[in-house]
Amino acid sequence: MIEVENLKKYFSSGMLRKRYVKAVDDVSFHIEKGETLGLVGESGCGKTTIGKAILKLIKPTSGRVIFDGVDLLKLKKKKLRRLRPRMQMIFQDPDSSLDPRMKIGDSIAEPLKLQGDINKGEIKGKILELVETVGLNPEHVNRYPYQLSGGQNQRVVLARILALNPDFIIADEPTSSLDVSVQAQILNMMNDLKREIHLTLLFISHDLEVVRCMSDRIAVMYQGKIVEIGKTEDIFDYAKHPYTNTLISPTSIGDRVILDRDMKNASDYTLGCVFYQRCPFAVERCSKKEPEMIEIGKKHYVLCDRVT
Amino acid sequence: MSVLEIIDLKTWFQTQDGLVKAVNSVNLRIEKNERVGLVGETGCGKTVLSFSIIRLLQPTTMIEGKILYKSKDILKLSEREMQKIRGKEIAMILQNPTTALNPVLKVGDQIAEAIWLHQGLKKKEAKEKAVEMLEAVKIPLAEKRANEYPHQFSGGMKERALIAIGLACCTSLIIADEPTRGLDVTTKAQIIKLMKDMTKQRSMLFITHDLEVAAEICDNIAMMYAGELVEYAKTDDVFKNPLHPYTQGIFNSLPNRGLKPIKGMSPSLIDLPSGCRFYQRCDYAREICKNRHPEMVEMENGHFVRCLLYD
Amino acid sequence: MYKYRKIGLVIGISVLAAFVLIAIFSPVLAPYDPYKITGAPLEKPNRNHLLGTNNMGQDIFSRLVCGTRATLIVGFGGALLMVLIGTCVGIISGYYGGKIDELLTRAVDVVMALPMFPLLIMLAMFLKPSILTLIFLMGILGWTGCARIIRSQVLLFSESNFISGVKAIGASDIYIMVKHVFPNILPLVLVKFVFATQDCMLMEVGLGFLGLGDPFMIDWGQMINRAYIKGGFALGLWWWLLPPGVSIAFLSLAVASVGHSFENEINPRLRRMIL
């Protein structure tokens, strides 16, 4: 369904001496139709950048994103616009994901209107149908986003996206700003929708437990690179990368490991493993040679030289 | 003697949309060297409760009841007397590390400021103490770091610095308002460990929405829902035997405990239901719950619950 | 505080509305033809001439009423053009960012560096002075402040999720700018418009005083100028001098008070939006 190959996004700063921050560095993965891939990592590891780069909401530095056989990055603006409704993104902060000056109903209707050839009566019916699908009341239609709670706004975002009948959705921390009880409601609803309409999903989160509930496979990201990718069970039961292990049991990791993380961006080093400075198992050669992805099980890959 | 005793506290304030009844008849006691976790969801009134204690609310806010700090009623103190208590006796660790530090002052100076405001030390001594505090919260190269600005600190380090400010004076009560919010898993684990170590011989009110975080740090847990406490017990008791349907619901909502949500949403603090406030969302609700507002009752030794099921 | 703002707004709007009505109905309201000599020169205010007459024996009250038009037209017209250009530049600059933004920001800097009033005086001297020329000149010289503020506002939320969301639906850039960006900065545009109106009114009177107004229209600046040149100051002929001066002061205050009320009303909402 979707294939990402060697995707890179570098941000440059400085006028004369350009410095680059590798937000996404040579990332490749694919998602099958109807499958959910979870993308886990800490803040600033580049997971949101990946999401936006796939949809071309920001321009990647290089690489290929193939959606349904079409390379998105080579597409002309007009053609891309026609393809966009099929791929959607849910953002982290639901309150800023809606136009504050548009009523809920208008926000949901907007994608329908943009698609054209649909009359007013049909739109009205469709809005009510969508509002019900995401568990809102019809009376919410005439309200503004600031009158609703975060959880309700996230439902509106979902309704708006479902109006387009997308094939592929990127959910970027859709529940991280919500309370646990609301989070459970939203995640359950997404799981139901996934089953009903065979959605393909890229689920981005910093919370491994949440990702576990949602995903068929999980990719773990660190400093712009995917360090481990595999089936959900494999990641939890047979995690091989030291970083994945720290995520699974964060309390087990010593003080040194966290606090040595003084480097703020990835531009400070060029050689060696990205996790070298924090890795409790690092040896000399880890700082010299960049590790390569190794297949260690069925569909289970690790970016570490010391795993054999 | 208890360090803090809140008796029948009501905090209400007027907004454009109506009267917000944020805190309603809350009774809570914190003993010396006890750490109490106040757990509740967004908009349940937990932050208003903490601001009532250090009196940082708008002057128009209506506060009723008593807040006894070492047997003195805080609500009756003058603003002058209150300033002496804030920071020196009761310290507050705020949420959101990015905005709680002044961006144009060196981190070390900000900690030193808190120290010399209350301890009558010379500036140089205060600065030395500040470096000590940074070491205590395990910031590497503390001496160098003290001369850096907040933007040079990562999120976790800023939170550490805030904790250092909060703990810099030998306070008798710490109020921590969601110090782990918005932090990454690994950073969060570190901050929890730090908070736990640093507050061993201290009294603390720890406010959070995250039951698991509260469990790591606190001796007792108070569950807050729609402006009132609904359950209060030792941490172990809450985890092993949650009594209130809301507490049970929160547990079941956790991703690693089944992801079973509570239906509906919290009532607005402006328009509170007359009977049990959890009535509409409760799986065990009966007719009587609709009209009768339950009182807090003690079930076992020190395990309180506000629910008609146990009446 | 809140009540006080409301009072300011009500007074401001009433005064402004009164002036607008006077301007519209000036031919009816003026008791005499302002150009005709209807009395003796320099008559003191009396029953026939409410505010007396000037050195040529023209009725000052009639001239005052008819002069309202020029000030209001130039004030609103100039402000409209300023805000129109400023908003377009600001939105385009902030929304697209990158090279377009850099280019437009430079343009803003250049125009901003020009000293506006002296340049206005020079240009007004060279070009045939008329109301339209004045509006045009004010518009193309005065849009920069508005453009800057709008740009920063647009920058703030063009990164925000809902804009990305609309893009992802497949909306065109123009659609997004018109349908989503513009409505969100509209309150700010309104505030800018009100303050620009005040500036333009004052400039119009200033130019009129320097004798650079539209010679075919009566305006307050020109009235003061006449009184000044013909010795009104020296002779202490207050009824000749004061009325236009007091009028512009009142009008300007009214507009300013409307502007401040708007600003206060809108600011918390803008802040909430950004948060």
Instruction: Quote the ipTM score.
Output: 0.81
Distance from CA of C166 to the nearest CA of A (A): 8
> What is d(CA B98, CA B103) in angstroms, rounded to the nearest whole number?
9
Q: Quick check: A179 and B261 CB within 8 A?
A: no
> Which residues sit opposite B233 in a β-bridge?
B221
pLDDT in tens, C12-38: 999 999 999 999 998 888 888 888 888
B253-263 pLDDT tens trace: 998 888 888 98
List, as ranges, residues 62-121 from C with C-beta within 8 Å of A.
Answer: none
C221 lies in some domain: yes
pLDDT in tens, C212-252: 877 778 889 888 888 888 877 777 778 888 888 999 999 99
Top-ranked range on mean pLDDT: pick from A147-151, B1-5, C73-77: C73-77
Tokens of B90: 């009761």
Is A99's CB within 8 Å of C166's CB? yes
Tokens read off for C28? 């009816």
Name every chain A residue with its beta carbon within 8 A of the beta carbon of B256. 209, 212
Please, what's the b/e burial string for A160-175 (b: 16 or more CB within 10 A of its CB; e: otherwise)? bbbbbebbbbbbbbbb
**A269 pLDDT tier (thresholds 50, 70, 90):** low
Contact by Cβ (8 Å): A158, A188: no
Q: What percent of chain C has pLDDT over 70?
A: 95
Q: Residue C252 has what pLDDT?
A: 93
Residue A296 inside a domain? The answer is yes
Residue with tokens 């981005």: A204
Q: How many angstroms away from the CA of C53 is the closest CA of chain A? A: 54
Report the pLDDT value the prediction gives residue C41, as an integer from 0 to 100: 81
Q: Do C170 and A157 touch (CB under 8 A)?
A: no
pLDDT at A29 over 80: yes
Q: Is the pLDDT of residue A264 over 70?
A: no
Checking if the pLDDT of C270 tops 60, the result is no
The average pLDDT across C120-142 equals 87
Q: Closest chain C residue to A56 measured between Cα atoms? A: C168
Rounded Cα distance, C125 and C117, in Å: 12
- Backbone region of residue B21 per phi and psi (left: phi > 0; alpha: psi in -120 to 50; beta: other values): beta
DSSP B28-63: EEEETT-EEEEE--TTSSHHHHHHHHTT-S-TT-EE
Using the Cβ of C175 and the Cβ atoms of chain A, whether some distance falls under 8 Å is answered with yes
Residues 150-179 of A with CB under 8 A from B: 150-152, 179
- Report CB contact under 8 Å: B261, A43: no
Residue C89 lies in a domain: yes
> What pLDDT does residue B181 have?
79
How many structural domains is chain B composed of?
Answer: 1
Q: Which of C157, C167, C180 sits opposite A57 (nearest CB)?
A: C167
Instruction: With CB atoms and an 8 Å threshold, state whether B261 touches A182.
Output: yes
- In this structure, what CATH number is given to the domain that contains residue C264? 1.10.3720.10
The answer to whether residue B100 is domain-embedded is no
- Token code pair at residue B181: 């919010």
A173: left (phi over 0), alpha (psi -120 to 50) or beta: left
Structural tokens at position A232: 């959900």
Whether the CB-CB separation of B254 and B272 falls below 8 Å is answered with no
Facing B41 at nearest CB: one of A181, A206, A247 = A181
For C96, the token pair is 């697209």
> Is B261–A188 a contact, with Cβ atoms under 8 angstroms apart?
yes
The structure tokens listed for C90 are 């600001």
Instruction: Kindly state whether residue A51 falls inside one of the protein's structural domains.
Output: yes
Q: Does residue A255 register a pLDDT over 60? A: no
- Domain span at residue C201? 70-274
pLDDT score for A184: 92
B190 neighbourhood in chain A, CB within 8 Å: 255, 258-259
How many Cα neighbours within 13 Å face the side chain of B262? 24
Domain, as residue range, for A295: 2-303
Tokens representing A55 are 């949809």
| A157 with C167: Cβ contact below 8 A | no
Q: What angle do CA C131, C136, C141 make, to 5 degrees?
A: 130
pLDDT, average across residues B185-191? 81
C173: tokens are: 């850039």
Which positions in chain B touch A152 (Cβ < 8 Å)?
A: 265
pLDDT at B172 over 50: yes
**For chain B, what is the mean pLDDT?**
88
In a domain, A308, yes or no: no
Q: Give pLDDT, residue C272.
A: 46
Q: Tell me which residue in A43, A206, A212 faces B255 most closely, judged by beta carbons.
A: A212
From the list B186, B193, B211, the residue facing A247 with the nearest CB is B186
A254 band by pLDDT with thresholds 50, 70 and 90: very low
Please report, to the nearest 10 degrees, the dihedral formed by the alpha carbons of residues C80, C83, C84, C90 taken in order.
180
The verdict on residue C14 lying in a domain is no
CATH of residue B264: 3.40.50.300
Residue to mutate among C160, C169, C178, C181, with most A CBs inside 10 A, is C169
Contacts of B140 in chain A (CB under 8 A): 259-260, 262
Q: What percent of chain A has pLDDT over 90?
A: 33
Query: What is residue A15's predicted lDDT score, i.e. its pLDDT?
Result: 60
- d(CA C131, nearest CA chain A) in Å: 37
A85 and chain C in contact, CB less than 8 A = yes
**For position A154, what pLDDT does the model report?**
92
For residue A66, how many other CB atoms are within 10 A of its CB? Answer: 16
Q: Which of B49-53, C121-125, C242-246 has the lowest mean pLDDT?
A: C121-125
Alpha-carbon span A22 to B62, nearest angstrom: 53
Please, which pLDDT band fits residue B306 given cuts at 50, 70 and 90?
A: very high
* Structure confidence at residue C1 as a pLDDT band (50, 70, 90): very low
Q: Is A30 helix (H, G, I), strand (E, B) or coil?
A: strand
**C42: in domain:** no
pLDDT surpassing 60 at residue A252: no
> Which pair of tokens denotes residue B226?
């729609």
Contact C175 A91 (CB under 8 A): no
Structural domain includes residue B139: no
Average of pLDDT values for C178-203? 92
Q: What is the mean pLDDT of chain A?
A: 85
Residue C32 domain-assigned?
A: no
How far out from the chain centre does Cα A182 lie? 20
- Whether C79 maps to a domain, the answer reads yes
Interface test with A, best of B135, B181, B186 (most A CBs within 10 A): B186
Q: What is the pLDDT of residues B242-253, one digit of tens each?
A: 999 999 999 999
- A88 touching C (Cβ < 8 Å): yes
Q: Do B185 and A151 touch (CB under 8 A)?
A: no
Instruction: A234-243: list long-range contacts, CB under 8 Å, 24+ apart.
Output: A234/A297, A234/A299, A234/A300, A236/A212, A238/A297, A238/A300, A240/A296, A240/A300, A240/A302, A240/A304, A240/A307, A241/A275, A241/A302, A241/A303, A241/A304, A241/A307, A242/A275, A242/A279, A242/A280, A242/A281, A242/A304, A243/A275, A243/A278, A243/A279
- Rounded Cα distance, C222 and C207, in Å: 8
Structure-token pair, residue A172:
């970027």
- Measured CA to CA, the distance from residue C100 to residue C104 in angstroms comes to 6
**Which tens digits make up the pLDDT trace of A215-239?**
999 999 988 899 999 999 999 988 8
* CB within 8 Å: B255 and A255: no
Contact flag A246-B260 (C-beta cutoff 8 Å): no
User: Which residue of chain C is at minimal alpha-carbon distance from A90?
Assistant: C165
Q: Which residues of B touch A207 (CB under 8 A)?
A: 185, 255
Lowest mean pLDDT among A244-253, C197-206, C254-263: A244-253
- Dihedral over alpha carbons B225, B229, B234, B237 (to 10 degrees): -50
A256 — pLDDT class (breaks 50, 70, 90)? very low
- The C-alpha atoms of residue A246 and residue A244 are separated, in whole angstroms, by 5
Segments forming the whole domain that contains residue B21: 2-89+171-310
A149 touches chain B (CB under 8 A): yes
Asked whether residue C259 carries a pLDDT value surpassing 50, the answer given is: yes
Which is more confidently placed, B183 or B75? B75
In a domain, B149, yes or no: no
Q: Confidence band (pLDDT; 50, 70, 90) for B85?
A: confident
Q: A133-192, pLDDT tens digit by residue?
A: 888 888 889 999 988 888 899 999 999 999 988 999 999 999 888 888 889 999 999 999
Amino acid at site B257: R
The answer to whether residue C162 is domain-embedded is yes
pLDDT of C13 reads: 92
Instruction: Write out C33-45 in H/E/C secondary structure.
Output: CCCCCCCCCCCCC
Number of domains in chain A: 1
Average pLDDT over residues C176-191: 91
pLDDT in tens, B98-153: 677 888 888 898 888 888 877 778 888 888 889 988 888 888 788 888 898 888 88
Determine the average pLDDT of the residues in C191-197: 93
- Closest partner residue to B138 among A181, A255, A262, by Cβ? A255
Answer yes or no: do A93 and C162 touch at CB < 8 A: no
| Angle of helix B107-119 versus helix B155-168 axis, rounded to 10 | 10
pLDDT > 90: percent of chain B: 38
The residues, any chain, with a CB within 8 Å of residue B54's CB and separated by 6 or more, are B82, B85, B86, B90, B92, B175
- The yes-or-no reply on B/C contact (3 CB pairs or more, < 8 Å) is no
Predicted structure pTM score: 0.81
Rounded-to-integer distance, Cα B31 and Cα C182, Å: 57
Tally the domains of chain C. 1
Nearest to C164 among A57, A102, A146 (CB): A57
Asked if B261 and A206 come within 8 Å (Cβ–Cβ), the reply is no
Q: Which residues contact A24 (CB under 8 A, 6 or more apart)?
A: A7, A8, A9, A46, A49, A50, A53, A60, A224
- d(CA C191, CA C195) in angstroms, rounded, equals 6
Which pLDDT score is estimated for C274?
39
Classify A152 as helix, strand or coil: helix
- Residues in chain B closer than 8 A to A259 (CB atoms): 138-140, 190
For residue C266, the model assigns a pLDDT of 72
Q: Is residue C93 part of a domain?
A: yes
Burial of B296 (0-12, 13-18, 19+ CB in 10 A): middle
